Structure 1
Amino acid sequence: MIEIRTFRDLLRLFFIFFREFKLAVVATLVVVLLGAFLLPTSFESSARLLVKPGRDTNTLPIEVADRQSIVMPATQRDPILDEERMLTGRPISRQVAERYLEELANAPRPEGFLPTVKYYVGQAVSGAIELVRGFFQLLGLAEEQTPVDRLATKLEDKFSVTHAPGSSVMEIRFRWSDPAVAQSVVQSWVDLYLEERTRALGRRSLYDFYLNQSEASSAEILKLKQELTAGLDELGAIGMEAHLQNLSERINQLRTDRFNTRRLISSTEGSLATLDQQIKSLPAEISTSREVALNPVQQDLLRMLNGKRAERQDLLRTFTENAPPVKSIDETIASLEAMVKAEADTLQVSQNRAPNPIAERLRSNFMDQQSDLARLKAQLIRQEEQLNILEEERVKALSVEPELARLQRELTAAEKNFALYDESLEKARIDRELDNSRISNIAMIEQATFNPSRVFPKSLLMLVLALPLSILVGFLAIYFCYLLDQRIHDGGRFADKFGVPLWTTLPEVSGDPTQNSAFLAALYRLYGLLPLDQVGERGLVFGLTSARRGEGVSFIIGHLRRLLEERGYKVRVGDAPAQSGEIVLLDASALLSSPESFVNLRRADLVALVVEAQQSNIPTVAHAIGVLNTAFNKVDGVIINRRRFEVPDRVLRVIAKVRGAV
């Protein structure tokens, strides 16, 4: 744990891990130098093939190739990818491997000392590899492979073919340890590819295939047309869709007519009921003329009434109105008046009668509507019969419609396929003639090149970059060591890390510590943190402890005791309680391995943990602080001992000179 705040801290970090830096630099430098001289060389040979557009590059199926309105161009595969896959296929690589093994067997042994040594070393290594491979095959950990298969796999790994997007040029590259062999392999590979491609794409049987398919499609079309015609003849139609539409229109029209007929029947029946009521309410005959005379009975009664009235007037001359004769005649007058009122004034003497013309007209209308009602009912029956017949025909048509629709779809597809097969038949004939003439759409625009300059390793570049790369790796090693280092180098971030205040940091001294100003300043800082006000009243017990032995507890106690005595305090080192005016310094080192340290620290007023720089690590210190907090519920402070400033003096002097010059 080191805090990086200034450039001097970076220098400290560099010199802290200077050993690791040197090891990383030396190791990287050795690896790069050995690689520059000992890595197997690799040479590259290249060639270029032009794939001319033609029917050979058309990879779409026949049913889709002629339907450009359906297939989007973005969905079409790049035909050159298929050429690349054929070029890198195992059959061609195997033939190249067989040819290479034949040439290698007939090749003479290399001449010269170094080539001879490399040859025999290679033979020995190959023999050892064969023994190891045989052992693994015996154990069942590897499968048995022929030398040709192994060489073909190796050639495929070294062989690559690419093309730029949208380009029709295939770029072939092959890497090998010998430039002449690389050129020979590329040339053999291309030649074998062209031969195999011409042989594999020979479409002598394609013409016969399209011819047979065209004839089969023609026979299928004839068969489907016969079946479709038989089904339509059974229905008496020329087309299923038109027949169903005609039936639907006729059924809809009949249903409309039936509805209108039922409505007319209902209205006619209502009209007949109304006419019948009107006819019954009218008289059958009416009088055309009649003769009227006065009623003779009424006239006789009036004459008698007038006589009685005259007789009453005569009686009133003699009698009063209440006299019996007058009352008797009044009763007679009243009886006659009632009889007169009961009789009619006139009497019909004669009349002429005739049939009622309105009733006759209504009867005529009634009979007409009855005939219309009978006609409408007969019409409704005919409509019902026709509707039933049409619905039966429609049900029959719908029952056979799926089969006829299937036949129609198959007929349409067969006609399209026949057209495509017929067109492809002509293309196949042209392709067959091209194959017979050995005409290909692959052209070699660049022969296999002979390139004597190596592509790997770049020894000169590796030698130039060896030192910078080694230094960079060294700095990376310093960075990783900084990340992985758990040691405590100084007190930076100590309080934030452990939650315990850092009292002082004592530097490492080589001579007399009393002559070192930095050491004395750090010791006086510790002296200033002690609560010396309570020494006169009850004394002070100051306990110093450490996680392990050898961290400088006794050293700090000795120098602190001398400083306190110089300042006039009575100081004692031990474990007895402090008296008034006395300071007791407790030595409780090796806290984690000495149980007596816990007993001594129980009487301490202050507890300080001593941590040796570059020796103590974060887990140990954290564990010690946790133990102290658990046992005494406090750790008053931490003292960093033997802090080293790793930057050499000569480096500091150089930096000082540079600053002075600036």
Structure 2
Amino acid sequence: MRHSDQLQTDKDTDLTLIDLFAVLWQRRGIVMLVFVAVLMVAAALIPRLMPTYRSVAEIAFVIDREDTPIDGGGVAQHLETAMAELRGNEVLAIALSVLRGEGVQIVPAIDGSEGNEAGDNRVLGALRSRIEVVRIGNASVIEVSVTDHDAAQSQKILNAVIDSYLWQRESARKQGLRARLMETSEQLLAANAKLAQAETDLSAWQQQAGFIEPDESRLMLDRIYQLNGMLEVARRDLERARLMADARKNAQSIDALLALPPIANNETVRRLSGQYDEVRRNHAALDQRYGPKHPAMIAVHRELETVQRHLRDAVLVAAEKIALDLRDAQKQYDVIRSQRDDWQEKLTVRHEKAQGQAALLRAVELMRSEADKLGTTEQELRIALAAFQSDVTVMQAASLPETAEFPTRRDLWMAAVLVALFAAVVAGMLRHYFDQAIHDDGNLEDRFGIPLYARTPQVDDPFASAVSMEEAVGHLAVLINILAKTRVHAGRAHVSCIGSAVPGEGKSRLARDLATSFATAGMKTILLDGDLRHPAGFARVGNVSDLTAALAGDGTLEDAIQSGEDHESFDYIGARASVPGSFATGLLQNGLRDVLDHLRGRYDRIVIDTPPVLSVADAILLMGAADARLLVLRRGYSKRRDVRDAISQLNAAGLVPDGLVLAATRGRPAYGRDNADRAEDA
């Protein structure tokens, strides 16, 4: 029977939020223990977790429209290729060499792994796993980030990767330009050789013609060759002047103009620039010495503004000279070209009647045009190589992370607190589910084999009321009155003994309420506080005697009884002070029967409040002297094993409780209460 009871669990199907808080408060010991234990485990584990820092940089690409289609697909493919190159083995190997030189270690070194292919691949893989490259929106910008357990080291790794990528990409583009320049130079040499051969063939044909004088033809060709050379020089000067004019046009400030060689080499500009630097240094020295409002500073400041104004005027004058140089170069190129064209026209007219002259001249012109184009291309490639600019710009340098990534230690502590709360709640609920506490589940009679006489509501239950408490106690009083008719002789008071297994189950309150119910019903009632060790303390200080003196024979019962205030109140007898254990038991053994015999003749009902059954043997003595024995159980507080042990002790003494009273149950509306309230409102 006991084993089956232990396997049976009490399930409360009406568990509310208020009940949950009550359960957690009742199990606060295990709740706090689990909460603190989880936090202690978290305190041991969280410091071992290394935070992760992320350094971020942004790189912008200048897309070459000649090589890449204008549509978004071509740009996206170009950026994907660049992103793959940034995480490629070539860039990472260069970055790894730089990091090793700075003493940065990507992964812990393993003996024998340095320098071999497997070890290098392992390090490259670890470095690649820390790099994340994504495109920002639809722009030609990518975001590169590196994660590491050290904030400064993550920045170092990212700087090394970006610098290695920029160097590798710039080297590859320069190598491509050099290859194109070499190929164009070879093509130009071949074209010039073909042109020279064609011109030689033309000169030989003219010498063979009878109506053309060889000397005149040679002189004309020499003049044309001379003009071609002059025209090539003029063309280069014109291209150089155009480049300087474009640079002047794109310059947005005086500093940008000063960067141009024609302006920087101007004698006036160079003199004024040196004077401006000297005055500015003097101005800075005086500013540190005297401050901005000193007379010497004011004079130097004015001198600085004057020199700056003269320098600006000189720069503008030199800039205008660039435009004049462009016009002069264009004019010289046009004059030389016009002269060459005139000589060619004269030569063509002179030999227009000669057989094959037109074909030879066309061949020479085509070859010369091809040579000119190749020369222009070569010059452009040389200029592009000299003024090479990278197509990659670092928009945002590698940042130094200030905070760790999620989860930070603060996040981990918040999660640990939440887990601790959850674990504490679960532990409290499991403890409550598997506990031995008594609940109002309707199985008390079957479990203990004792009828349930009454259920009293929770005192602080918001649904409980004075009427519901009166009804519960009144119901119990009716049952006791029925027992009194069958067990008590006429003229003798009925003795009801209220006991419990352990303290705190509400027996003292039930004894007072039951005595009040008897007294209200018109019965002369006395409440006997049998707990001499811990009396309730209702005895008046002014009384001559108390229950302890009456039991010892040192005083009379009349002096020990505390009478009620009116006819609806009960009398009271109890100890004024605590009595030691063995002495209290001896008093009850020797004097209890005489006291009860005396009280039976004076009262109709005697209610005895006993100490806990499992605490002292006094309760067994008081229960044995009673006519009705009630055992109080408190819902959610009393334990099944305690109740069984208490019943076993009573059974060992030949006593059987007549009924159980379940205290602290949920409040139920009192019968007829709503009608009474409506009647009062009317």
TM over 0.5: no
- Scaled by the length of structure 2, what TM-score is found? 0.32
Ranked by relative contact order (alpha carbons within 8 Å, sequence separation 6 or more), the top structure is 1
Larger radius of gyration: 1
